[in-house]
Amino acid sequence: MAIIDAHALALNTLPFRDDRDLVAAERGFLGTLDPLVITDAAGEVVRDGESYNFLQGEPPASVHPSLWRQSQLAARHGLFEVVPGVYQLRGFDLSNITFVEGETGVIVIDPLISSETAAAPSRCTASIGVSGPSLPSSTPTATPTTSPGSSA
């Protein structure tokens, strides 16, 4: 069976009309930067969320439809409230950043891979005018952590 035939078979037999994954991906959405283009101090683009716009619509025959669907879900970007006091910024980097509001401050989990994308949550909440986590306005800095018994 050729690749294109296998992809067509998957498209016709897998439950792509079931949109529960798409609905779940939107749950808690508060807003996003539009367009999602993040630059560094020199104006160079660090993250261009618009480059994923090709994922809109149906997959080409050369791409497995499940991979296309997963890519569409992963390309969704914005600030989401997971549960009260827990927020995620998704799609602004290769990983997601999570904020947990505590009694004495905000715990930041996975500060992303660049200072520019790590600073984006404050820009996002200001731009969309929503109440989200109490984020610092400056760029966060990473503090290395080690496991018990290991050396830094």
Number of domains present in the structure of the chain: 1
| % pLDDT > 70, the chain | 82
Structure confidence by residue, pLDDT tens digits, 3-59: 999 999 999 999 988 999 999 999 999 988 889 999 999 999 999 999 999 999 899
Q: What are phi and psi of 90, to 5 degrees?
A: -110, 145
**Average pLDDT over the chain, rounded to whole?**
83
20 domain residue, yes or no: yes
pLDDT tens column, 132-144: 555 544 434 333 3
23: containing domain: 3-128
Does 17 map to a domain?
Answer: yes
Q: Does 33 fall in a domain?
A: yes
d(CA 40, CA 61): 37
Scanning the structure block, which residue is given the tokens 């520019």? Answer: 116
Mean pLDDT lowest for which of 14-23, 76-85, 106-115, 119-128?
119-128
CB atoms within 10 A of CB 141: 8
pLDDT at 10: 93
Write out the DSSP string of 75-122.
H--EEEEEETTEEEEESSSSS-EEEEE-SSSEEEE---SSHHHHHHHH
Select the more confidently predicted residue: 106 or 145. Answer: 106
CA distances from 100 to 10, 52, 83, 111, 113 (A): 39, 28, 10, 13, 19
SS3 of residue 14 by DSSP: coil
In a domain, 148, yes or no: no
- CB atoms under 10 Å from CB of 86, counted, come to 16
Is 89:123 a contact under the CB 8 Å cutoff? no
